[in-house]
Amino acid sequence: MQCYFDYQATNDLLKGRIVLVTGAGDGIGRAAALGYASKGATVILLGRTISKLESVYDEIEALGAPEPAIYPLNFEGASWPDYQQMADRLYDEFGRLDGVLHNAGILGKITPLQGYSPTLWQEVMQVNFNGPTMMLQALIPLLQESEDASVILTSSSVGRKGRAFWGAYACSKFAVEGLAQVMAEELENISNVRVNTLNPGATRTQMRAKAYPGENPASLRTPEEILPTYYYLMGPDSKGVTGQQFDAQPPKA
Ligand SMILES: NC(=O)c1ccc[n+]([C@@H]2O[C@H](COP(=O)([O-])OP(=O)(O)OC[C@H]3O[C@@H](n4cnc5c(N)ncnc54)[C@H](OP(=O)(O)O)[C@@H]3O)[C@@H](O)[C@H]2O)c1
């Protein structure tokens, strides 16, 4: 696996690009949305809590970056017509997409399989995998309108090697890895769309605090500190790189 932990993104790396970020209101998605905007992208902020998206919108405006757009969507309740409508609206507004960072996700519960609520299992699969899959299916034509499009799907270390008690979350991330491979191979020779997965690694966010309540958050990297690989994969330097797995942080010594 090649590493881009120290990748230096130029200030105009994403100039003129239109990039959708899911889960853009908080955590890593918020940092990535701000970072992409600061590198020149027009960022479409997708998420379920409008007030959070509005705060990120205001922060981007304050940076003097290209004006972003807000797209409220809840992966839990959205169905196929919602994603078709989304693709139509984005096509009317922008005509293409140069990037998608699918980052939204929920943890579910860390608990033994035999006690895992089937309702919660379905919710986690819907938010982390089924909904985003429908979204990407609908968005493929917009990505194909780009001369150089990058899709980044957020994975996890438990989506590459299973771990006891991580249940639906781990399985949803394995599914995301599978989707990325299928999509990458389908699009490789017929489009300029590349598809890769990125594991953020332990990062100081609300999700991490929920998973590890006893951990000192100060011992973790912040979302802003893990962005170099997010930049590398979204920008032109990764053109032609597809179907691969990336980590945003070096392994712990
Ligand atoms: N932090 C880590 O250590 C770590 C490690 C490995 C992988 N990851 C992955 O990295 C990604 C980001 O995680 P994070 O730590 O930044 O988590 P986070 O702080 O909990 O943020 C998750 C984001 O996803 C959004 N979201 C949740 N459910 C949604 C839904 N139904 N529809 C639309 N948006 C929804 C949230 O919106 P609201 O704010 O409105 O709830 C929030 O913006 C996730 O895919 C996670 O699995 C994180």
Query: Tokens 């999509």 — which residue?
Result: 183
Q: For position 3, what pLDDT does the model report?
A: 85
What does the pLDDT average to over 114-135?
98
Who has greater pLDDT, 81 or 3? 81
User: Mean pLDDT of all residues in the chain?
Assistant: 97
Cα–Cα distance for residue pair 32/230, rounded to 1 Å? 7
H-helix or E-strand spanning residue 117:
none
Handedness of CA 215, 210, 59, 17 (dihedral sign): positive
Residue nearest to ligand 1 atom 37, measured at CA: 23
Q: Which residues are catalytic?
A: 169
At residue 251 the predicted structure's pLDDT band, cuts being 50, 70 and 90, is confident
What does the pLDDT average to over 112-129?
98
Q: Give domain 18-247's CATH architecture.
A: 3-Layer(aba) Sandwich (3.40)
H-helix or E-strand spanning residue 193:
strand 193-199
Pocket test for ligand 1, best of 43, 48, 174, 207 (most atoms within 8 A of CB): 207
From the CB of residue 94, how many other CB atoms can be counted at a distance below 10 Å? 16
Residue ranges lining ligand 1, Cβ < 6 Å: 23, 25-29, 47-49, 52, 74-76, 103-106, 127, 154, 156, 200, 202-203, 205-208
Percent of the chain with pLDDT over 90: 96
Residue-wise pLDDT for 159-179, tens only, equals 999 999 999 999 999 999 999
Residue 189 CA, ligand 1 centroid: distance in Å: 32
Strands 149-154 and 18-22: unpaired
Q: For position 252, what pLDDT does the model report?
A: 78
Residue 212 CA, ligand 1 centroid: distance in Å: 15
Q: For position 253, what pLDDT does the model report?
A: 65
Nearest CA among 203, 98, 103 for reference residue 152? 103
Cα–Cα distance for residue pair 145/36, rounded to 1 Å? 20
In the predicted model, is pLDDT for residue 138 greater than 80?
A: yes
In the predicted model, is pLDDT for residue 199 greater than 90?
A: yes
Nearest CA among 40, 20, 30, 25 for reference residue 236? 40
Pocket test for ligand 1, best of 28, 50, 56, 123 (most atoms within 8 A of CB): 28
In the predicted model, is pLDDT for residue 7 greater than 70?
A: yes
Strands 69-72 and 99-102: unpaired
